[in-house]
Structures are given as C-alpha cells and as structure tokens.
Structure 1
Amino acid sequence: MSPEEQTVQQQVAASGSSFYYAFLFLPAPRRSAITAFYAFCRQIDDVVDETTDLGVAQTKLEWWRAEVARTFAGQAQHPVMRALAPHLGIYGIESRHLLAVIDGCQMDLDQSRYLDFANLSTYCHLVAGIVGEVSARIFGQTQEATTAYAHTLGRALQLTNIVRDVGEDAMRGRIYLPINELQQFNVKAHELIKRGQGAVEPDFEARFVALMRFQIDRAQATYDHALSLLPAADKRAQKPGLMMASIYRTLLHEIANDPVLVLTQRVSLTPLRKFWLAWKVQALGRL
C-alpha cells in the first residue's frame, strides 16, 4: 500500500462514517479504490462545509476541477488523487463522474434553497446518484441495469442525509427541504433556522413532525425502488451498497421515533450497531 493509500484509509477510518463499515468486507483492491473515491468526495464536500468565504470556496472548486484534468493526464498533485489515479481505468471511472461531484457542490455555493423536489433531485443526482454509479462499478457491477439501482440508492442515501442534517444545515443557513413542501406543511424557514426555539408558534412541533414524516416516507420509498431495480446477478457484488441501505434505513427509523431531535442534535447509530447491520448483510445476504 502506497503512502497516499495509507493516508486515505486512515482518514476514512477516523471519520466514523457509515461507509467505513460497508467497505470493511471488500477485497483489498476494491477497498482501496472505493476508499480513495470516498476520500475525494469528502475533500470536495469539505470545500463547502468548512470554507466560510464564498470566493475562497469557488477558487478551491476551480482548483479541484483542474486537478481532475491533471489526474487524467497522469499529473495528479493531491495525495487523494494520487491514491485514486491507479483505479480510474480499472473500474471505468471517468472525469465526468468526478466533475459531476464538483458541480453538485457548486450548487451549494450558488443556492441555499430549493424551490421544489425536481430542483432538489438535480442536486441529489450530482452529489449522490453519480457517486452511487461509480461505487457500483468499484463493487463489481456486471449488469447494465445495476446503474439505475446504484443511482437510485445514492439518491436515497442523500435524502437520508438531508433528513438527518436539517438542524446542522439550518445553522449554516442552508435548507434542502423544498420550499413548496415547507409551504405545504406551513413550516417557515426562519423556524428551522432558529431550530424550533425562540419566538416560534406553539404548534411548530406538530407541523415540523408532519413535514419530516413526509420526507422520511419518501426516502424509504426511494430505497424500496432502488432495491427493486437491483438485478439478481449483481446482488452479491453489490453487498456494500446493501449494507449502506440497511444502516441508513435503520437511521431513518430512529429519526422517525422523534423527528424533532434532528433540529438540535445529530441522530446516529453506534459503531457496534453499524458493524452488526453490515455484518448481517454480509453473512445473511439480506437487509
């Protein structure tokens, strides 16, 4: 393992991400590839999450676009891209895949609200659907139809992230819940930004819970749709994605028990529970 690969492996393990538990059961070459790809996605995501100056963030994204071009020209500079480069040709990862992830984060710089679900779906396509497609290739996709499954699963995972992070995103001034759906449930943007506290109408919790149950139901339905698209021939190879589905669907169930919690804390599963859910899919082949 190269120094660059060791670095990204350590970064992913230290992050505590649910993805880490799904990667554990992969053969070493595929684990190295998916870990490097995940590290790339984290680097791009951190540009938006950790850079408060929009001008600086824009400059960083432009640097990453140039770095993608350099990487495909055999001149990668960043350790993450040097770790990812050897896997690009093996797993059919193209520059358009990496640039789509950057374009998705560009949307975060350009807007902090989404008019409707169609608008939000474009964002989910870029930051998660494409990620799902690349992941499926690395896991060992053999069927063309698996692409639709992987894309839909990626969108389901992103919808789960949006539900989980309502409070954290609102603190940053970002609201991913579509505006027309906020209006449908009579939830005001300023109520989310205040995280349900302060001068809020007394029925806020009831309205917010109804909105969140709508979001949770849609995410669960998206998982159901994704699983219905997975060809039987690729089910074994795509176990890491199924592990993620199991972990994230369990997280959705936890949030559904008390949706208001997402406003003030990050709802999560323990590492042991994540490992158990991943192992169950690996050993039994079911969610």
Structure 2
Amino acid sequence: MLPDQYCQHKAAKSGSSFYVSFRFLPSERRRAITALYAFCREVDDIVDDFPSDPGGARRKLDGWRREIADMYAGRPDHPIMQALMPHLEVYSLEKKYLDAIVDGMEMDLEKKRYGDFSELEKYCWHVAGTVGILAARIFGATRRKTQEYAEKLGLAFQLTNIIRDVGEDAARGRVYLPADEMNVFGVSVDDLRNRRQTSAFRELMQFQAKRALGFYDEAFALLPDQDRLSQKPGIMMASIYRELLLEIGRCGFPVLIKRVSLTKVRKFWLAWKAWVNG
C-alpha cells in the first residue's frame, strides 16, 4: 500500500466529520490534510489501545517523536510520515506543532482530571489548537489572524468532542469537565460513572455547550475576509460540529447513556451548504 493510500484508508476508516470536508479540496491539499489527519488518528489511538499499560503507550509516543524527527531530517520511515513530508515546506508545517500534538496525547496518560478551565484549555490547545493551525496552513492561510481563528476553532471542536464523549470518557476513567464547575453544579465523578442523567448534570452540560458555542462565534469573528475562501474546509467542519453540538442539546444532553451523532447525509448536506454559502 502506498503512503497516500495508507493515510486515505486511515482517515476514511475513522468515519469522522472532518473527512467529509477533505473531499472538496484540490488534490495536493487533500493529500496533505489527509496525511495530517491520519497522523492525529494514529497517535490518538495509542492511549486507548494501551489502557492498562501507560509505559507501553509512552514508548509508542516516543516512537512517534522519533518518526517526526526523522521526517524533518529527510528520512521518513512510517507511511504517514512519508506521505506528509512532501508538504512540510509547501505549507510551512512546523515540527513544534506535531511534537505538541504528541505531548497532548501523553497528557492523557498523566492527567485524568482538570481542576479548572484554564487547565483544560491548555490540553485542548495541544490536541486540537495545534491541529487547527496546521490545517489552516494547508487550506491556504495568508493572515496572522487566521491562525488565531484556527486555534479558537480547534478549541470549539475539542469542547464539542468532550461534551459528546462524557459518558465514554468517564467509563475509561477520564473526566474532562473542569472539577470546579462540576462542584458548582453539584455533579460528582460518581454521577458520571453511574450514568446519572440528573437535572444538575443537564444544567452543567448546558453551561459547557454555551461556552463551546461562544468559541465558534469568536473563531468566525477572527477570520479575515481575505482568507474566508481558502478556509472553507474549516468552515464546513465547523458547520457539522456546531450542528452536532446543537443536536446534543436538543436531545437533552443524553451523553451519559448514548452517543449522539449526525447521519452521513446530514453531514454532507451541511458541508455542501457551507461550501456554497461560506
């Protein structure tokens, strides 16, 4: 299997909303973003694949740090790195951001709770803000403000993921909801683990959703007019993810007992509307 084919398979297999927007890109940019996404999926899966072996997970993540270093030295070994290397200079994909993504995955091995939102925001920057920056460059960012937009949008995406996956994460022993906010609303870790869909829990989730929606609004306000056309793929992703967040709210935040999702048809419809309307 050729490197680009490997990445294509990895991205398609994930079934992610992000993959929908890739199809609207020119071929070179599509190959670059698919390789980046495949890398993110690969390192993200490591922590879940080694739930009882943090040492093994760390060794795997260290292996990816070496893969990144080898790629920037011009001798990539892994198919994903082979697929990504031709795009590094073209799109100014800096090593520090790929390293930061791996660091973010390692945070999942070291930290199971977040005391307040500032702690959580740091984690979100590593696993999502950095990805937003790299993706915006691949899409064709030309303005400094576009990087700020991409970071903010990455934060909104990650907060949406956290809301959607509260039940699944709690079952794995991870709680991404800020501890101080859980205390204010009277929601305990045991409530999450025992899937108690209380009114207090719904109020807490409404608070989290309102914050996430605010970051979507802040992101769009930052995007310069000069880059709106090039950043349409990000806008398409945001259209899908924002609608998912609203759908979770309309359903009453049942995230402790089931995973809320949008159909493929609905995702494509939202993506197409965003592509046409921007």
TM-score (normalised: structure 2): 0.98
Gaps in structure 2 of 5+ consecutive residues: none
User: 1:248 aligned to 2:248?
Assistant: no
Deviation at 1:78, TM superposition (A): 1.0
Deviation string 1:109-137 (CA, Å, 9 cap, x unpaired) is 11100000000000011111111000000
Map Cα deviations across residues 185-238 of structure 1 (whole Å, 9 max, x no partner): 000001101222xxxxxxx51000000000000000000000000000100100
Q: Paired residue for 1:229? A: 222
**1:104·1:123 contact (CA, 8 Å) conserved in 2?**
yes
Give, in angstroms, the shift of residue 260 of structure 1: 3.9
Measure the CA separation in 2 of the matches of 1:94 and 1:124. Answer: 19
Specify the alignment match of 1:97 in structure 2.
97
| Amino acid in the other structure paired with 2:125 | H
Task: Answer yes or no: is the 8 Å Cα contact 1:170–1:195 preserved in 2.
Answer: no
TM-score for both structures, normalised by structure 1: 0.95
Instruction: Say which SS state the counterpart of residue 175 (structure 2) adopts.
Output: coil
Using the TM superposition, give the Cα deviation of residue 15 of structure 1 relative to its aligned residue in structure 2, in angstroms: 1.6
Q: 1:265 aligns with which of 250, 253, 258?
A: 258
- For residue 67 of structure 1, report the CA deviation from its aligned partner: 1.0
Matched, 1:50 2:49: yes
Deviates more, 1:14-23 or 1:179-188: 14-23
AA of the residue aligned to 1:218: R
Output the aligned Cα RMSD.
1.0
Aligned residues: 277
Q: Tell me how far apart the structure 2 counterparts of residues 29 and 278 of structure 1 sit (CA, whole Å).
A: 20
Partner of 1:147: 147
- The residue number in structure 1 matching 2:135 is 135
Partner of 1:283: 276
SS in 2 for 1:237: coil
The equivalent residue for 2:210 is 217
Q: Could you tell me which residue of structure 1 aligns to residue 159 of structure 2?
A: 159
Q: Which runs of 5+ in 1 are unaligned?
A: 197-203
Deviation at residue 258 of structure 1 after TM alignment = 2.7
Deviations 1:249-287 (A, max 9, x none): 1001111023442112111000110001001111122xx
Q: Which amino acid aligns with 2:267?
A: K
